Every structure is written in structure tokens, then in C-alpha cells.
């Protein structure tokens, strides 16, 4: 099978999985649903065809294991997730799982055993669609799921614990999903970029150096509503004008560092009548950077700006902190090896941060993680328009082959 | 009866009218409702007590006529309206009607006839709550109601024509409500200021020199939605940032002229998720000035700014014109007389524009109009918190007495 044929098959499998959905007419696969189970069964079949032993752990992650030369060998982990957001595309998460299967398939076809095990993992919940909490699958493997998480409820009042049970898992034995770091050489997560950088540089793949950390806040601006015709400009305390100044200040802070992104995504104005001066605005801030220090510095700068704009304009501007998350640096050693594998395949090993979170974040405390980004059209993701190129998928699989080859050399 | 007793009675009548409402627990009087009819009946009773002949015209305006020394004498018109916005205060419109009644009452108590008729008018619809079209009462008197207006429907599909019929009027004879300008000396409309200017200057009343004209527009900004984590700042076409710049530009234009007010009252952001770059904003512009020329110049400036911001930011910013309205200059002669009457009462005759529209706008083409503003607490109107002071109401009535006295002198 040529590289291109392998990539075509991988993409055909993505198409095949797209039919398993919780909702007719679009792709939605939440944790524990029949659609997720069907997707797992299809993937389990392909894993078995590739010579893997397949099992599901206590939380319902699907794990294929391609044994090494010796039974006690450590494992190299490749993977992604099979759950999705609502109205999703067909590659986010899935590409990582199927690329892992593709690598093992080629080893199996060559009847080749390695000095280490190759495990392919399909996490059961990364997006957090059902329980509004991300990385549930990978956190089970990392051993960071606590009792509180098991008590999370979905919109129908079903707890995560109950859902695990219904999905054929075992909430009481959730600890058994936890893996010993000593079992692993590392984890590589192939994933669509979800951004436009590779496309802009005309590169099929890229090497992730860090997964951004984020600050989040909800900011309220309280001014004074009034008649649009009778209150002079000088006497106004217009909440919208103050908030508009804030939006531009946030944009300015975002632009001050090429690695930073700052977004006001929600912005609600009250009372919202054309002839009434706005009395109140509620807006959200989403601030991300691959390094924590510049992000926290920017956050502090914005906190001061909120206070300054509020004071100058005579409005009450309040910063309500929403829990943020620290950045994750990919493992330097494994990432260098991944970059070398990219070079081996004749591609410039461009390094870039991931602006979105991934299972690698949850596993980074447990074992060395690396991420390979695959170019996606227009940077579009979480959307039916998600699109990747066969040629790029072929390159990604070849890079993984090369990485595995390199790991063999150093064993 | 002292001036203060007269003002106290006027305010007691405002309180009495406040009980007539379409909705329990708050003041709402739309055109043609039983509540408006009850309010008219109460006012008609007070008019008759003041020696007036009372009638309702074809649209349902209540008109009290205090005859002059000769039957053929022209009339001086004083008045306001008895309909209200939803959840209204108790003075907007009503104060004008009851101040007119108070002036006639004093003439009647003194058994005094003037060389002209005094008419007090209570317009049946100024706010446009029911048919979403303002000045319906005064436009009937001015003869500017057309067939199209009679076809307007309320939220239940009842036409204005049908509502006139149900209210005891005669839509077929609507022309009969039209008055001949030769019948009138002029019209004075006493009204709460609905703004903070008199309060800031510590003046009980003020003389309106013009009623502002307005430009209105709906502006849409179409950018590109995207992932808040993965699209770099440089690559964004953020509709909210562009719209924020526009809001501040609009504020700047408003501030460039002390007589101008510019307001963005509605501002809606889509898709409105905290982790999604806004793709579209829809906002409204309300621009007012007592003179049309500076307003239209500012409007053109803003149209250019919309285009400039759109082009510079790579977003599609579109100006959708909403019908505006020209400014109305009060009659200089009658306004000078009103100012003189204010001076006579020992008050500095401060002139100011009206930021809101009034029945005087609809009558200005027909006859000389003037407006007397009465200070209201905090500039608040269209709100149950509308509040005026007894002493200020007493001054307003005295000013009207003085104006009438001055007109007698010049007859």
C-alpha cells in the first residue's frame, strides 16, 4: 500500500465514522452515547485488523495495543478522541486515532515488532460536550479524575458516574484506568491545526511547541441609561462607549505580542433600545498565550485598564475572574525528535503553538507529550466545513513512521 | 385661590388621571382604550367647571373652548396629550393639558373674557404606542393625516380607522378635524423638560427655541467569525472591534458640537460565544441636533467613517438609512413673548432645545408654536419616576397667565 493509498483509506475511515451521530443530519457525538459506541466498534475492528489487542478501560477509552518484541516493553502512545462538539467536522480528534492505527497497520503488514509496544488510544471524551468539563477520557488515564468529576451532571441530570456505568465502564474502578508513567515512552497527538498558520506557510504539517494557557474574565460596565434626545453628551455615563474603549484596549494588548490572542466574544448591551443610552454592558474576555508570564502580565495590564476606563468615564467597570488554565509546554526531547522526523520527510519543521486545548494537556504531567499539527483548510474547525488534504495526511503518517523509527534507533 | 393652591390642585389632578390605565399597577394609556376615555371624561369635567364648552373632534381629541368677548374671535391654543408610553410617568403630556385648564379656570373665576378665545386641547395620541406612529392627534388637527395613516394596524390587526370608530370618532370625516390656521393666534405647549438642563441651572422653567431633528440609521458590520484560540490577531476581521471603533467615532462626532447628541442604543453581537471571534454586529445610530444643517453634516461624516473603518479593517460595514425627521424652530415672535412672560415672573428666560419630539412639531406648519419646559427631577421621563415640583408648576401657570395677558395687550 502506497503512502497515498494509506492516506486515502484513513480519510475514508473518517467519512465512515461521520455517520455515527447523536443527531440526524450533522455530526455530534457526546460521551456515552450509542453513536460513540458505534464509532468505537468500527475503530476497534480496524485496530484488530492491524494486529492490535483491543480493550476499553474503566471510563470507556478505547485502547489498541500492538505488542513489542518483549512482553515487558514500555509503550509509545499515539492517539486522539472520538467524541465531538455539536455539529462537528470529521477530523478533529479522529485524525489522531486513525493516524495511530495507520502507523501500526504498516508495521503489522511488514510483520515487524519493535523494542517497544505501540498503543493507540481513542479517548472517550475530550470536548466536554455532555458534562461541560474537558479531557474526561485523558484525565482518567492520567489519574486526575476525582470524585467531584464523577458527580458532574448532564443536562438531563444524569451523573458522569452513571453515564460511565451505562457506557459499559466502571465508575467504582475509575482508578484502574490510571496508568503508570513508567509504562510509557511518551505520547504523540496528531491533530488538525484549527488555525491558518500552516496554510499561510504552505506547510503540510507543523510541530507544536506549547499549548496556550488562558485567562478568562467576565467584565461588567454599569453606567446610566437615559433618553437619547435629552441627555447632553457631556452629562452621559454611557456604558457602551466605555465598553467600546475596553474592546479596543483588549485588541491592542492582543496585538502587542504576536503570540498573544485576546478576544471579546460575548457582548450584551442593556436596555438595548435605539433611543435609550446604554446603561449596562456585560462582556467576556478570552486571553491566550503559549507562555504564562506574558499572559498574566497582559491580564494585569487589562485589569488596570478596566479600572482606569471606569474611573475616567464615571462608570462602574468590574472584572469578574473566570477560572483560567496554565500553558502546557510540549516535552522538549520528544518534540525535537518529532521535528527531526518532519525534516526526514522533507518538510521544514515549523514550530507553532496550539491555540486550543488538547488531550496532550491532560497527559503532560504523566509522560512526555508532543503534538503534530496537520494543515486544515482555512483554519476552520468545530464545523462541518473542516477539511484536510490527502497529501497532508500522507505526510503526517510518514512523519509518525519516522518518529517511531527514530525511537527504535535510540532503544 | 393662590398660585400654590392652583399648582397643588393641578398635581392632584395628575395623580387622579394616573389611575386610568390599560395595565394594572402602572400607567399605560394607548389611543382609543377605555382608560384614555376615562381620562378624557375627567378632564372634560374640569374643563366644564372652568367655563369651557367641550367637544371631541373626529379623531377623538378633546377640545375645551373658553369663548372670547366676540363670537368670531381667533383662538389661542394651549395643550398637550393624555395618552402615554408603556409604564409611564404622570406628567408627560398631561401637564400641558392641565396647565391650560388652570389658566382658563382663573379667567373664569375672575369672570374675565378676552379679546380672543382660549382653547385647551388634549390630543388623543402623541406617543404612538398603539400604532407606532407619533402625533396622530395633532396631525388630525393640522390636517396631515392621510389615508395611509388610517390603514395602520395595531398589534391585534385593528386599523387606526377602526380604532377611531370604536373610540366614538369618525374616520370618514377625519378631514373635519382639520382646523383653519386663520382661527388661531398660536399654540403654546407646556411640557416637562425630560432632560437635566433646567435642574442644572436651577431654573423652574425654560423657553424652547427648537425641537431637534434626527438622523437614524441601522449599521451592520460583517467580519469573520473564528476560533478565539487559533486565529492570530493579525489575521482577524473582528466585527466587534470594528463596531467598537465606530461607537467611539459616533461619540466623538456627538461631542464635537454641544448641541448635538449621538447615541448607539442597540448593539447586537453574533455569534456571541466567549471563545468565538465575533462575525457580525448590528447597531443603531440616533443623531439629533436643533438645526438640520450641522446634523446632516455630522451624518455625512459618519457615513464616511463607516466606510473608512470598514475598508481599513477588511469588514463589510453598511449604513441602512432609517427615516429621520427635520428640526422644528419654534415661532420667533411667540417665543419672544413667552420669554418675556418668563421674565415677568422673575425667572431668567433661559432658552434651550427640546431633544424629544412634541405635538408642537405637528402643529408648526399650521400656526405659530411655542413651548414652555418645566424642570423635572433628574431629567427622568417615560418612567414612573417622573417628578415635578409644585413650585415649578405654579411658576409655569403664572408664565402662561402672563403670556395670555401680553397677548391681550397687543390685541
Q: A71 — contact with chain B (CB < 8 Å)?
A: no
Chain A neighbours among B 147-206 (CB < 8 Å)? 193-197, 200
**Rounded to the nearest 10 degrees, what angle do helices A390-409 and A332-344 cross at?**
120
Distance from first CA to last CA of chain B, Å, rounded? 28
Q: What is the pTM of this model?
A: 0.81
Question: Is A49's pLDDT higher than 90?
Answer: yes
- CA-CA distance, A221 to A219, in Å (whole number)? 7
Torsion of Cα atoms, A95 then A96 then A101 then A102, to 10°: 60
State residue B213's pLDDT score: 93
Question: Is A72's pLDDT higher than 90?
Answer: no
State residue A130's pLDDT score: 94
Task: Say how many residues make up chain B.
Answer: 411
CB within 8 Å: A196 and B247: no
Contact A229, A339 (CB under 8 A): no
From A289, which residue of chain B is nearest by alpha-carbon distance? B229
pLDDT digits (tens, 9 = 90+) for B372-397: 999 999 988 888 899 999 999 999 99
If one counts every other C-beta atom within 10 angstroms of the C-beta of residue B266, the result is 20
- CA-CA distance, B287 to B253, in Å (whole number)? 9
- CA-CA distance, A234 to A316, in Å (whole number)? 17
pLDDT digits (tens, 9 = 90+) for B251-264: 999 999 999 999 99
State residue A183's pLDDT score: 94
Q: B273 — contact with chain A (CB < 8 Å)?
A: yes
| Confidence class for position B227, pLDDT limits 50, 70, 90 | confident
- CA-CA distance, B313 to B277, in Å (whole number)? 14
Distance of CA B117 to the CA centre of its chain: 25
State residue B133's pLDDT score: 87
Q: B282 — contact with chain A (CB < 8 Å)?
A: no
Bridge-partner residues for B190, per DSSP? B372
Question: Is A102's pLDDT higher than 90?
Answer: yes
CB within 8 Å: A216 and B274: yes
CA A90 to chain B, closest CA, distance in angstroms equals: 17
Residue with cell 401657570: B397
Closest Cβ–Cβ partner in B229, B276, B278 for A356: B229
In a mutational test of the B interface, the residue from A128, A236, A242, A247 whose CB has the highest number of chain B CBs within 10 Å is A247
State residue A380's pLDDT score: 87
Task: Say how many residues make up chain A.
Answer: 411
- CA-CA distance, A302 to B354, in Å (whole number)? 40
- CA-CA distance, B380 to B353, in Å (whole number)? 16
Q: What is the mean pLDDT of chain A?
A: 96
Residues of chain A contacting B245 with CB distance shorter than 8 Å: 244, 248
Q: A226 — contact with chain B (CB < 8 Å)?
A: yes
If one counts every other C-beta atom within 10 angstroms of the C-beta of residue B202, the result is 8
Cell numbers describing residue B242: 470594528
- Spell out the domains of chain A, with CATH numbers in brackets: 3-211+328-410 (3.40.630.10), 213-325 (3.30.70.360)
| Confidence class for position A309, pLDDT limits 50, 70, 90 | very high
- CA-CA distance, B249 to A2, in Å (whole number)? 60
Contact A316, A209 (CB under 8 A): no
Chain B neighbours among A 302-341 (CB < 8 Å)? none
Q: What is the mean pLDDT of chain B?
A: 96
**Rounded to the nearest 10 degrees, what angle do helices B3-17 and B390-409 cross at?**
110
* Interval B166-173 mean pLDDT: 96
Nearest to A262 by CA among B238, B224, B221, B223: B238
Residues of chain B contacting A261 with CB distance shorter than 8 Å: 228-233
Torsion of Cα atoms, A65 then A67 then A72 then A78, to 10°: -50
| Confidence class for position B56, pLDDT limits 50, 70, 90 | very high
Cell numbers describing residue B274: 466567549
Closest Cβ–Cβ partner in A214, A231, A273 for B266: A273
- Give the list of residues 6+ apart from residue A55 with CB closer than 8 angstroms, or none: A62, A63, A65
CA B319 to chain A, closest CA, distance in angstroms equals: 15
Angle made by CA atoms A404, A405, A407, in degrees to the nearest 5:
65
Nearest to B391 by CA among B34, B30, B7, B1: B7
State residue A273's pLDDT score: 84
Measured CA to CA in angstroms, residue A325 lies from A128, A292, A322, A393 at distances of 16, 9, 10, 31
Residues of chain B contacting A230 with CB distance shorter than 8 Å: 193-196, 261, 354-356, 379, 381
Nearest to A56 by CA among A67, A41, A46: A41
Contact B228, A287 (CB under 8 A): no
Amino acid at each position: 500500500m502506497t503512502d497515498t493509498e494509506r492516506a486515502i483509506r484513513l480519510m475514508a475511515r473518517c467519512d465512515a465514522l461521520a455517520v455515527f451521530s447523536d443527531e440526524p443530519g450533522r455530526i455530534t457525538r457526546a460521551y456515552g452515547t450509542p453513536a460513540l459506541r458505534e464509532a468505537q466498534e468500527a475503530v476497534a475492528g480496524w485496530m484488530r485488523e492491524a494486529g492490535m489487542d483491543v480493550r476499553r478501560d474503566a471510563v470507556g477509552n478505547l485502547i489498541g495495543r500492538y505488542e513489542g518484541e518483549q512482553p515487558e516493553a514500555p509503550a509509545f502512545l499515539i492517539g486522539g478522541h472520538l467524541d465531538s462538539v455539536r455539529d462537528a467536522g470529521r477530523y478533529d480528534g479522529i485524525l489522531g486515532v486513525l493516524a495511530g492505527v495507520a502507523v501500526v497497520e504498516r508495521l503489522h503488514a511488514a510483520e515487524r515488532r519493535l523494542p517497544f509496544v505501540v498503543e493507540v488510544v481513542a479517548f472517550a471524551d475530550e470536548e466536554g460536550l455532555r458534562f461541560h468539563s474537558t479531557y474526561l477520557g485523558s484525565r482518567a488515564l492520567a489519574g486526575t479524575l476525582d470524585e467531584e468529576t464523577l458527580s458532574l451532571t448532564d443536562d438531563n441530570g444524569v451523573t458522569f458516574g452513571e453515564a460511565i456505568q451505562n457506557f459499559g465502564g466502571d465508575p467504582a474502578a475509575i482508578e484502574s484506568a490510571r496508568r503508570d508513567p513508567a509504562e510509557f515512552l511518551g505520547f504523540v497527538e496528531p491533530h488538525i491545526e484549527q488555525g491558518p498558520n500552516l496554510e499561510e506557510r504552505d506547510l503540510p504539517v507543523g510541530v507544536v511547541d506549547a499549548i496556550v494557557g488562558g485567562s478568562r474574565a467576565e467584565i461588567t460596565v454599569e453606567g446610566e441609561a437615559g433618553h437619547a434626545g435629552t441627555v447632553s453628551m457631556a452629562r452621559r455615563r454611557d456604558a457602551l462607549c466605555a465598553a467600546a474603549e475596553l474592546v479596543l484596549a483588549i485588541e491592542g494588548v492582543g496585538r502587542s505580542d504576536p503570540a498573544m490572542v485576546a478576544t471579546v466574544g460575548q457582548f450584551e448591551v442593556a436596555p438595548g433600545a435605539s433611543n435609550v443610552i446604554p446603561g449596562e454592558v456585560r462582556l467576556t474576555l478570552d486571553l491566550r498565550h503559549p507562555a504564562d508570564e506574558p499572559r498574566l502580565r497582559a491580564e494585569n495590564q487589562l485589569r488596570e485598564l478596566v479600572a482606569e476606563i471606569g474611573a475616567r468615564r464615571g462608570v462602574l467597570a468590574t472584572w469578574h475572574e473566570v477560572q483560567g488554565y496554565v500553558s502546557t509546554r510540549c516535552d522538549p526531547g520528544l518534540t525535537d525528535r518529532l521535528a527531526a522526523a518532519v525534516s526526514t520527510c522533507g518538510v521544514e519543521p515549523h514550530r507553532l503553538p496550539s491555540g486550543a486545548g488538547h488531550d496532550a494537556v491532560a497527559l503532560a504531567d504523566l509522560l512526555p507529550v508532543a503534538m503534530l499539527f496537520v494543515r486544515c483548510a482555512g483554519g476552520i474547525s468545530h464545523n462541518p466545513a473542516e477539511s484536510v488534504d490527502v497529501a497532508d495526511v500522507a505526510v503526517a503518517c510518514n512523519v509518525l513512521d519516522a518518529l517511531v523509527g527514530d525511537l527504535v534507533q535510540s532503544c
